[in-house]
Chain A
């Protein structure tokens, strides 16, 4: 039987993959994908824990919210990346170092 633990383990894996993508990828799109993965890992957790709330289905509802928000965030993120690309002619985060002191 697939228990809560399994869900959590899978979610942790997905999260770690996302984290890795965010920290290591040299393409902003891939970083965005990493972020999506991390969000989806969290959503998975919501759904998994949702079984404890059979009256209001709070977990599922939150998951739906999060999916919508993630979608919105991706749109915004892509827009930003597009602008960054226009401005810097690159989407490699290593080459965008304006935050340096």
Chain B
């Protein structure tokens, strides 16, 4: 193993990224002939090993950076390069670690699908793009991979392309992400304009350009250039717009619930664990660029997202939609973490969330897989994703049930789980931040506590509705219920993720997040004091709150003592996602379409009409001049012409084709000539 450790981390990181690309190319070339996905899976396992080596080398060591010239425009050189520091190597490891179980799980989950070769191809492409995104050392390349992950996600959401909902969803996902991408692009333009470089090391390194930038007299001054101070805020908002779209922040979250149309394994990897977290990663990378205004906006948007998404999750019936809203809500937490300046906490939560949310999705996938199986066997028509059709599943799928419970506990933030550590770190920091800022800011931590309790409630609801009481569609099926535990190939990855949901992997002290190695490694200096009471009280509130809502959920859903009206207004708003989709469809999309129709009408009738009027006008002039020409100018000419015609006709009469007449006229002419000569 020695020689492996001697390879430079840059090299291993490079290989980590490139190997999935090779797998992608292989699958693209081979096409249908290889449906096993073995190459893709092996590639990601290799990537995982290499990323682990990279991580061990880089973590808590000097950041490394290496680059080569890409191209030159004007006097600026653009480079391709890799930046390895704690943040990027951590993300690299995370992505490949999550990707491995998902690949293995997919082998079983997607088995027998007609387009499976495309599945492996897209999955490898996604891994390539996502791994590339985290280690790129300049913003332009980050943008490249940023869009590529969006593209891979587009392909995977629309994997079942004959399904209308799926192709609607992938279009929506790409377009909403494009809105964010514009923000990113404008951010890049501003940074380039202000600093003359897009290199992360030059920008954010110690004594880099950002560190030497100041705002004075309403001017944002960097060593390279200066512009109005307002542009500093605009930069932050632009980049945040990018992160909002990718990390599904309100109001750009609308694509994520729809994105659940893709295969569940894809949802777990892309739309729960890795890609959607890219926005948080971006915010962490660019953190020094944000001023207080932007940070406050981020915190507000994050809180709003967390609240609204948790609320929407409460009444969903589709098991994947609940998890999708839960993801959005948790991403909101992470954004709050950025907004209050503790991006290490945000990253920590990103890390823990990736594992337990991935596990939740895989468990949900297992359930859906079996339910779909049941549907196919029984030849009955029911929605295999609908919670109302489930119930009592713990009898049929005990291992899945246990794993799901572990993940749910982590999500709800019960002690001894990873979620407890990371969620507390954000909420406690938010409380400390609010204390330093002023009483109005207390809204943020209080909201977060309420949301955390809501989170516990909806995940409890899911768990109890799906796994407890009796199977609700039993009457439909008759006597035989053909429900089994998932195959081993699906269970092993789930077990692996289950282990990653508990505390020892992150911190040996199960109750204090300060001891977590992630937090130590990222080492952010907080601008406010530590509040020891909060450290004691908040976890207690959270635990007690979560426990009590689980008891409530148990009574409501497992024992069937549901006290509320299912059709109440609050429930309906939650179920319909606040009617946001309808609003978007009716107001935004329709107005854009109408605008486009209007502009086409203008093009046809006004622009082209103007041209036609112009041409008409010219035609009229032409007609007039034609009349003049015919009657006046031509009249004169015609008179001459007619005279000439008369003369011509006269002369023509001599031309009768009789040779003798011609000779006769020659003879006459000679006579005339002779007479002339005689008489002269």
Interface residues in B631-680 by Cβ distance below 8 A to A read: 652, 655-660, 662-664, 667
Contact B657 A98 (CB under 8 A): yes
Contact B657 A100 (CB under 8 A): yes
The distance in angstroms between the C-alpha atoms of A77 and B474, with both chains bound, is 121
Interface residues in A15-54 by Cβ distance below 8 A to B read: 19, 22-24, 31
Contact B657 A97 (CB under 8 A): yes
| A 66-101 to B, binary, CB cutoff 8 A, 1 in contact else 0 | 000000000000000000000000000110111111
Enumerate chain A residues within 8 angstroms of B664, measured Cβ to Cβ. 23
The distance in angstroms between the C-alpha atoms of A101 and B667, with both chains bound, is 22
Contact B657 A99 (CB under 8 A): yes
The distance in angstroms between the C-alpha atoms of A23 and B655, with both chains bound, is 16
Contact A94 B652 (CB under 8 A): no
Interface range on chain A: under 10, 10 to 19, 20 to 34, or 35 or more?
A: 10 to 19
Enumerate chain A residues within 8 angstroms of B652, measured Cβ to Cβ. 101
- Min Cβ gap B646→A in Å is 16
The distance in angstroms between the C-alpha atoms of A22 and B656, with both chains bound, is 17
Contact B655 A100 (CB under 8 A): yes
- Min Cβ gap B660→A in Å is 5
The distance in angstroms between the C-alpha atoms of A24 and B656, with both chains bound, is 16
The interface centre, meaning the residue of B660, B662, B664 with most chain A CB atoms within 10 A of its CB, is B660
Contact B657 A23 (CB under 8 A): no
Contact A99 B659 (CB under 8 A): yes
Task: Determine which of A19, A22, A97 lies in contact with B658 in the assembled complex, contact meaning CB atoms within 8 Å.
Answer: A97
Of chain A, the residue at the smallest CB distance from B662 is A99
The distance in angstroms between the C-alpha atoms of A99 and B658, with both chains bound, is 8
- Min Cβ gap B662→A in Å is 8
- Min Cβ gap B650→A in Å is 13
Contact A93 B667 (CB under 8 A): no
Enumerate chain B residues within 8 angstroms of A96, measured Cβ to Cβ. 657, 659
The distance in angstroms between the C-alpha atoms of A31 and B663, with both chains bound, is 11
The distance in angstroms between the C-alpha atoms of A101 and B657, with both chains bound, is 8
- Min Cβ gap B533→A in Å is 124
The distance in angstroms between the C-alpha atoms of A19 and B662, with both chains bound, is 13
Interface residues in B345-399 by Cβ distance below 8 A to A read: none
Contact B663 A23 (CB under 8 A): yes
**Using a Cβ–Cβ cut-off of 8 Å, how many residues does chain B contribute to the interface with A?**
11
Of chain A, the residue at the smallest CB distance from B651 is A101
Contact B655 A93 (CB under 8 A): no
Of chain A, the residue at the smallest CB distance from B656 is A100
Enumerate chain B residues within 8 angstroms of A94, measured Cβ to Cβ. 658, 660
Enumerate chain A residues within 8 angstroms of B657, measured Cβ to Cβ. 96-100
Of chain A, the residue at the smallest CB distance from B655 is A101
Task: Determine which of A93, A98, A100 lies in contact with B660 in the assembled complex, contact meaning CB atoms within 8 Å.
Answer: A93
Enumerate chain A residues within 8 angstroms of B663, measured Cβ to Cβ. 22-23
Of chain B, the residue at the smallest CB distance from A25 is B660
The distance in angstroms between the C-alpha atoms of A97 and B658, with both chains bound, is 6
Enumerate chain A residues within 8 angstroms of B660, measured Cβ to Cβ. 22-24, 31, 93-94
The distance in angstroms between the C-alpha atoms of A38 and B667, with both chains bound, is 13
The distance in angstroms between the C-alpha atoms of A99 and B655, with both chains bound, is 8
Of chain A, the residue at the smallest CB distance from B652 is A101
Contact A23 B658 (CB under 8 A): no
Enumerate chain A residues within 8 angstroms of B659, measured Cβ to Cβ. 93, 96, 99
Of chain B, the residue at the smallest CB distance from A101 is B655
Enumerate chain B residues within 8 angstroms of A22, measured Cβ to Cβ. 660, 663
Enumerate chain B residues within 8 angstroms of A101, measured Cβ to Cβ. 652, 655
The distance in angstroms between the C-alpha atoms of A96 and B661, with both chains bound, is 12
Enumerate chain B residues within 8 angstroms of A99, measured Cβ to Cβ. 655, 657, 659, 662
Interface residues in B606-622 by Cβ distance below 8 A to A read: none
Enumerate chain A residues within 8 angstroms of B658, measured Cβ to Cβ. 93-94, 97
Enumerate chain B residues within 8 angstroms of A24, measured Cβ to Cβ. 660
- Min Cβ gap B644→A in Å is 15
The interface centre, meaning the residue of A19, A24, A31, A99 with most chain B CB atoms within 10 A of its CB, is A99
- Min Cβ gap A18→B in Å is 12
The distance in angstroms between the C-alpha atoms of A98 and B657, with both chains bound, is 6
- Min Cβ gap A33→B in Å is 14
Enumerate chain B residues within 8 angstroms of A31, measured Cβ to Cβ. 660
- Min Cβ gap A11→B in Å is 17
Enumerate chain B residues within 8 angstroms of A23, measured Cβ to Cβ. 660, 663-664, 667
The distance in angstroms between the C-alpha atoms of A99 and B652, with both chains bound, is 12
- Min Cβ gap B247→A in Å is 93
The distance in angstroms between the C-alpha atoms of A19 and B660, with both chains bound, is 10
- Min Cβ gap A37→B in Å is 14
- Min Cβ gap A72→B in Å is 21
Of chain B, the residue at the smallest CB distance from A95 is B658
- Min Cβ gap B333→A in Å is 104
Enumerate chain A residues within 8 angstroms of B667, measured Cβ to Cβ. 19, 23
The interface centre, meaning the residue of A24, A93, A96, A98 with most chain B CB atoms within 10 A of its CB, is A93
The distance in angstroms between the C-alpha atoms of A99 and B660, with both chains bound, is 12
Of chain A, the residue at the smallest CB distance from B664 is A23
- Min Cβ gap B402→A in Å is 113
Of chain B, the residue at the smallest CB distance from A31 is B660
Enumerate chain B residues within 8 angstroms of A19, measured Cβ to Cβ. 667
| B 569-611 to A, binary, CB cutoff 8 A, 1 in contact else 0 | 0000000000000000000000000000000000000000000
The distance in angstroms between the C-alpha atoms of A94 and B661, with both chains bound, is 9
The distance in angstroms between the C-alpha atoms of A101 and B654, with both chains bound, is 10
Of chain A, the residue at the smallest CB distance from B648 is A101
The distance in angstroms between the C-alpha atoms of A99 and B663, with both chains bound, is 13
Ordered by A's residue number, 6 sampled pairs between the chains whose C-beta atoms are within 8 Å are A22-B660, A24-B660, A93-B658, A94-B660, A97-B658, A100-B657
Q: Which 6 A-B pairs have CB atoms at the shortest separation, nearest pair first?
A: A97-B657, A100-B657, A99-B657, A101-B655, A93-B659, A23-B664
Beyond A19-B667, A96-B659, A98-B657, 12 extra complex contacts between A and B, CB < 8 Å? A23-B664, A93-B659, A93-B660, A96-B657, A97-B656, A97-B657, A97-B658, A99-B657, A99-B659, A100-B655, A100-B656, A101-B652
